[in-house]
Amino acid sequence: MLNNTTFVPAAQRSANSHLMGMLVTIDQKTGHSSRPTGNGYITRCPGHEDRSPSLSVSAGDDGRILLHCHAGCTVDAICDAANISVRDLFPDSEPIGDIARDHAWLQPRNTQQQAKITEYHYKDTQGNIVFTKVKKEDNNGKAFYWQHIDASGTTVMGMPRNCDKILYNLPTVVEAVLTNEIIFLVEGEKDAETLINQGLIATTATESTTWRESFTDLFKNARIALLYDYDKAGFKRRDFIISNLASKIKSLRVIDLPGIEYTESHGKDITDWLNVEDNTIENFIRLVGQTPEYSTTPQKDSLTVVSLDQLLSLNLPPREMLLHPFLPSQGLGMLVAQRGVGKTHVALGISYAVASGGKFFGWSAQCPKKVLYIDGEMPAVCIQERLKMTVDMNIQKPAEGFFQLLTPDLQDGSMPDLSTTEGRAKIEALLDDVELVVIDNLSCMFRDGGENDSEVWQEPQEWILHLRKRGKTVLMVHHAGKGGKQRGTSKREDILDVVIMLKHPSDYEPSDGARFEVHFDKARHFAGENARAFEAQLIQQDDGMAWKISAVAQAEITTKVAMMHKDGNTIKEIGIALNLSKSRVETQIKKAREGGLIE
């Protein structure tokens, strides 16, 4: 149980406790433990997708916390990612001194302010305290750190060396497993104590983003009710724990608290919910009782294998073209360009043509199909202006309900994160009769995980394949990197039918406006003239705006071959990207050498 709250002067906190508290804060954010090295510690940096510890943390001679990310993150970026301020790097008892003269917004702390100290004891099954989590609160915010009592009876910062991580309130949890009582698994000791003080059994883990197999083993015969914080980290933790407990324990319920809105960070929790008028503990218990047990989708016991004759005899519906020649039904495509080239122009044009049964860039739709356009970043007024222009440039207009738009400015809350189970579920509820789903763009709509991590993409990829199985066509819009190719892991392209690359011509000037070349970087089911590159430019005519289409100049092809050759691409790769034969690529390389484009 929670100890009685005590007060100690802030100035009494040692530099060591200040450092340890900062390490706990950072480690809780990243889900990984720091380790000593040299005169300080090394841990994973919260400011970037850190796969190998790159953040050095140490204490300066004046007690200040020194942060150095070897990957290049600034101190401001690290503090922002860890949900702390730069102020928190300075000890309570020391003035900021020279730093204040350089940064007037930083002021010395009030060394007379008293701190509120709360201790959460983690006990073994016998009730012995193994280690303690300490929360310190004052007018400058709050910090957490670990401490334990060593064999000599001295209080030591940190957890005992090589100790096993255990759950909070462990003795009561073990007894609850035996007596078949519901155990509430929450995020943080504060929430656990909230429910314990209401006569319920609650627990939490020492780390929010990791889970130990020993915890699952303990819960094998347990009835668990999972609660989570309503922010990005809380949703990620919820999904992670579900994956570790579902179908492995006696009973699992995931409790959704009505009335709490999602926020990117600092989301509300069960303590906040119970503090709202009319949200009584009786209502909460009733909600738990009404929540069905979590169940995973049953898997088939075996795989289905067909013979050649069986496959050839199947009466499979043919794939029709949503937009000839490159976008079929149940097709998967990607539109790639650097910022400001014209991705949204093209994505909206494709969507409008499919929804209206019209044409765009010479591409044609056989008949209208329902489209859901998911815009992740543009202001509503800008998307409105683009669509007004698109309507004015077309004769045909989509029938009511054939072009649906989901855009951030028109939502009460935030846009769903499609890298999460909940985010994808919100989109799936809108797709019953939709045939084309356009996601603009990947960075805004798949917000969890690093772009270069192919493993992070595995779950979204399975969802996209699931949409294809449901008969949906998916077109994803994505940013290009400095080299012109799609940014991040190339694994995204493995399942795609088509990849369209937009690039500014070499003679492009900003005064040209929307002017770009259109290249098919991947064309799975079409070739020849249909896959040839062309140039598009948005121009003003007497009767309004229009797209001017022209062939890519021959000199441009030579330049592109030269650039790809210098980037290390093989003749075959160049030919596929530019839709050129082997002999033509070789001819262009020869011309490039003669023109001095290649040494």
| CATH number, position 216 | 3.40.1360.10
For residues 355, 356, 357 and 359, what is the CA-based torsion angle, rounded to 10 degrees?
-100
Confidence at residue 2, expressed as pLDDT on a 0 to 100 scale: 33
418 and 477 both lie in a single domain: yes
406 and 451 both lie in a single domain: yes
d(CA 580, CA 571): 10
Handedness of CA 410, 411, 416, 422 (dihedral sign): negative
215 and 340 both lie in a single domain: no
* pLDDT averaged per 10 residues, the chain (length 599): 34 59 80 79 82 84 83 78 78 40 35 74 94 83 84 87 91 96 95 96 89 94 94 86 91 91 86 93 93 70 77 74 93 92 94 95 92 93 93 90 94 90 90 92 82 75 89 92 75 88 86 92 87 91 89 76 90 87 86 79
d(CA 444, CA 374): 10
DSSP structural state of residue 86: G
Three-state DSSP state, 437: strand
Question: Of the residues 157, 182, 206, which one is the last residue of a structural domain?
Answer: 157
109 and 150 both lie in a single domain: yes
239 and 286 both lie in a single domain: yes
Question: Of the residues 526, 549, 572, which one is the last residue of a structural domain?
Answer: 549
- Beta partners for 373? 405, 438
Q: Which domain holds residue 279?
A: 170-290
Q: Which two tokens stand for residue 413?
A: 């809350």
150 and 178 both lie in a single domain: no
83 and 178 both lie in a single domain: no
CATH number for the domain that contains residue 403: 3.40.50.300
Confidence at residue 113, expressed as pLDDT on a 0 to 100 scale: 54
Whether residue 343 is contained in a domain is answered as yes
Q: Which of 247, 210, 240, 294 is nearest to 421 (CA)?
A: 240
Place of tokens 């003003």: 540
Between strands 114-123 and 515-523, the pairing is unpaired
Question: Of the residues 96, 130, 157, which one is the last residue of a structural domain?
Answer: 157
Whether residue 464 is contained in a domain is answered as yes
Whether residue 587 is contained in a domain is answered as no
Instruction: Say which residues have a Cβ less than 8 Å from residue 96's Cβ, sequence separation at least 6.
Output: 90, 106, 107, 108
How many domains does the chain contain in total?
Answer: 3
Whether residue 303 is contained in a domain is answered as no
Whether residue 529 is contained in a domain is answered as no
215 and 249 both lie in a single domain: yes
Confidence at residue 477, expressed as pLDDT on a 0 to 100 scale: 94
Whether residue 373 is contained in a domain is answered as yes
Q: In angstroms, what CA-CA distances link 194 with 186, 201, 269, 275, 423? A: 10, 10, 11, 10, 29
570-577, long-range: CB < 8 A, 24+ apart: 576/522, 577/519, 577/521
196 and 280 both lie in a single domain: yes
129 and 190 both lie in a single domain: no
144 and 187 both lie in a single domain: no
User: What's the first-to-final CA gap in the chain, in angstroms?
Assistant: 75
Confidence at residue 275, expressed as pLDDT on a 0 to 100 scale: 94
Whether residue 535 is contained in a domain is answered as no
Whether residue 554 is contained in a domain is answered as no
Confidence at residue 453, expressed as pLDDT on a 0 to 100 scale: 65
pTM: 0.47
104 and 213 both lie in a single domain: no
